[in-house]
């Protein structure tokens, strides 16, 4: 089966990427680099490496727009009026954005069109946060004593210039999760998409460029680590909102203290899903958990539960149904609706995933299936077959480190207390899952799990609910009112009416 993604590139007229700074597209950049499609390793286009000079120009534009432009002081009604047309433009461009996202990272087109990372969801997020603009309120406080003439109130001011850095695995959704609330709160933004996936972000930037936003309110720079470091450490940036690897996130955290930047960091995960013997359907639990590793982005999602903690009494049944699920996996052209799974994002990451699989075998885990790569025409792409390990000890590398590939580790447990202890024995704490019909147990275990979110008999993300991690999975929350708090500073004003 031979296929190429270049006809799709040509269909949508993908051109070399540019920078969007101070309300205009620029060809600038210190150099250019290739964006490569992971399903075939074909070069899709070239992108500008903004580098230090490009970042300086973008931050300067955002700084001017915040300090001297109208955006920060604009009335809520006017700011809302300018953002709401963006929603309709995103909806109108859904199909193109979906195809560009699949060009970016190989996500099967069915998910790009209709999944929780689709352009529709991005439009919903802009719609949600545009609706918050005239509802961002402060508080007043009652007198502490009868003789107190001081009246206390709070206001929420925008943080300032926001550096938004998005990952390759959800370029559309994370663009909206960061840019929409930041702009709604009156901030200005410099966004850098992943150097591995910039096409959908460039399209979304083009939609914002066609709006009536004042120049410099939104800016986009493309590039790799040099550009990312220049942006995250720039003294003109007041806040960094980053989604990506823990290694990079920890570096941002350590350097952010130099000028006390505000930080939101959504980093890695090694999430555990606990499958109890009273679950309504072991088959559904097994298919869901194996499917999250074998389909969609092939386990390349930080919230994916890659540790399945299964009660020993149903272990064999769980493994059987996991094997049955993998029979439905279809690799191939990501623009073919029959394709179920994405390739690994890069050759380097393929080597990393295969290294973890080798480590699992060396440390004594039992490989049930997978552990290899497909041959034939698929060999030219970055594909790794879905892999299941059992007899996994939680001290093994495959149970402790984030693999970011189609690998599920199954750990048996005997008691609820043991399961919770294993789940919490991790340096990560992004998400978790529970499969049970006992609601008392479900809420009890959910409260005991040390994670930012827990899904009971299912998991999803919505624009109006917060998501984020604890421990090495990051700090801060994205979604709902929590995001408004992240993108604003609380100011207390005291008024003496007796003066």
Low-confidence ranges of the chain (pLDDT < 70): 1, 146-147
Q: What pTM value is reported for the model?
A: 0.95
- Look at residue 1 in the predicted model and tell me its pLDDT: 59
User: How high is the pLDDT of residue 141?
Assistant: 84
Catalytic (active site) residue 354: no
| Active-site pick, 49, 402, 478, 486 | 478
**pLDDT tens digit string along 249-292?**
999 999 888 889 999 999 999 999 999 999 999 999 999 999 99
Torsion angle, alpha carbons of 308, 311, 314, 319, to 10: 20
270 included as an active-site residue: no
Distances in Å between the Cα of 450 and the Cα atoms of 258, 297, 422 are 30, 25, 11
Q: Give the count of alpha carbons within 13 A of 309, CB side only.
A: 28
Confirm whether 448 is a catalytic residue.
no
Per-residue pLDDT at 308: 98
Indicate which residue of 49, 94, 266, 402 is catalytic: 266
Three-state SS string over the chain comes to CCCCCHHHHHHCCCCCCCEEECCEEECCCCEEEEEECCCCCCEEEEEEECHHHHHHHHHHHHHHHHHCCCCCCCCHHHHHHHHHHHHHHHHHCHHHHHHHHHHHHCCCHHHHHHCCCCHHHHHHHHHHHHHHHHHCCCCEECCCCCCCCEEEEEEEEECCEEEEECCCCCHHHHHHHHHHHHHHCCCEEEEECCCCCCHHHHHHHHHHHCCCCCCCCEEECCCCHHHHHHHHCCCCCCEEEEECCHHHHHHHHHHHCCCCCEEEEECCCCEEEEECCCCCCHHHHHHHHHHHHHCECCCCCCCCEEEEEEEHHHHHHHHHHHHHHHCCCCCCCCCCCCCCECCCCCHHHHHHHHHHHHHHHHCCCEEEECCCCCCHHHHHCCCCCCEEEECCCCCCHHHHCCCCCCEEEEEEECCHHHHHHHHHCCCEECEEEEECCCHHHHHHHHHHCCCCEEEECCCCCCCCCCECCEECCEECCECHHHHHHHCEEEEEEEEECCC
Catalytic residue (choose from 185, 302, 471, 486) = 302
Q: What pLDDT score does 497 carry?
A: 81
CA distance linking residue 473 with residue 321, whole number of Å: 30
pLDDT of residue 461: 76
- 178 catalytically annotated: yes
Instruction: Choose, from 178, 203, 261, 270, the residue flagged as catalytic.
Output: 178
- CB-side exposure of 423: number of CA atoms within 13 Å? 30
The per-residue pLDDT for 138 is 87
Over residues 134-167, the pLDDT tens digits come to 888 888 888 777 667 788 899 999 999 999 999 9
């Amino acid at each position: 089966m031979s296929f190429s993604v270049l006809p799709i590139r040509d269909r949508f007229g993908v051109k070399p990427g540019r920078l969007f700074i101070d309300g205009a597209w620029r060809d600038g950049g210190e150099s250019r680099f290739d964006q490569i499609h992971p399903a075939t390793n074909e070069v899709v286009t070239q992108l500008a490496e903004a580098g230090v000079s490009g970042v300086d120009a973008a931050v300067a534009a955002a700084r001017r727009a915040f300090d001297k432009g109208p955006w920060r002081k604009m009335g809520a009604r006017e700011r809302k009026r300018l953002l709401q047309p963006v929603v309709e433009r995103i909806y109108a461009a859904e199909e193109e954005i979906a195809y560009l996202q699949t060009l970016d990272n190989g996500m099967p087109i069915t998910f790009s069109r209709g999944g929780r990372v689709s352009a529709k969801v991005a439009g919903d997020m802009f719609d949600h946060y545009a609706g918050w603009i005239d509802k961002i309120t402060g508080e007043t406080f009652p007198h502490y004593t009868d003789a107190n003439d001081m009246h206390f109130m709070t206001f929420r001011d925008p943080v300032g210039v926001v550096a938004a850095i998005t990952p390759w695995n959800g370029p559309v959704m994370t663009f909206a999760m960061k840019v929409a609330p930041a702009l709604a709160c009156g901030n200005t933004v410099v966004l850098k998409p992943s150097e591995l996936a910039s096409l959908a972000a460039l399209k979304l930037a083009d939609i914002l460029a066609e709006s009536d936003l004042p120049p410099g309110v939104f800016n986009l720079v493309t590039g790799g680590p040099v550009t990312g470091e220049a942006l995250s450490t720039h003294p003109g940036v007041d806040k960094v909102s980053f989604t990506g690897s823990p290694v990079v996130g920890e570096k941002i955290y350590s350097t952010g203290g130099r000028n006390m930047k505000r930080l939101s960091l959504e980093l890695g995960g090694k999430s555990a899903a606990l499958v109890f013997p009273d679950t309504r359907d072991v088959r559904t639990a097994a298919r869901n958990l194996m499917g999250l590793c074998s389909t969609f982005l092939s386990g390349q999602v930080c919230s994916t539960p890659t540790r399945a903690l299964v009660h020993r009494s149903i272990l064999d049944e769980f493994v059987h149904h996991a094997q049955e699920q993998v029979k439905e996996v279809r690799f191939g052209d990501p623009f073919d609706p029959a394709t179920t799974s994405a390739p690994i994002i890069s050759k380097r990451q393929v080597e990393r995933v295969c290294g973890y699989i080798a480590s699992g075998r060396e440390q004594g885990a039992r490989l049930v299936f997978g552990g290899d790569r497909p041959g034939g025409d698929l060999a030219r792409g970055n594909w790794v077959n879905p892999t299941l390990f059992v007899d996994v000890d939680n001290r093994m590398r495959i149970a402790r480190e984030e693999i970011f590939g189609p690998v599920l580790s199954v750990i048996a447990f005997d008691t609820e207390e043991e399961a919770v202890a294993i789940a919490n024995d991790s340096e990560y704490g992004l998400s978790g899952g529970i499969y049970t019909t006992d609601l008392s147990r479900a809420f009890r275990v959910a409260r005991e799990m040390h994670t930012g979110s827990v899904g009971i008999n299912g998991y999803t993300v919505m624009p109006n609910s917060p998501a984020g991690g604890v421990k090495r999975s990051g700090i801060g929350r994205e979604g709902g009112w929590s995001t408004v708090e992240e993108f604003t500073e609380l100011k207390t004003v005291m008024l003496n009416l007796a003066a």
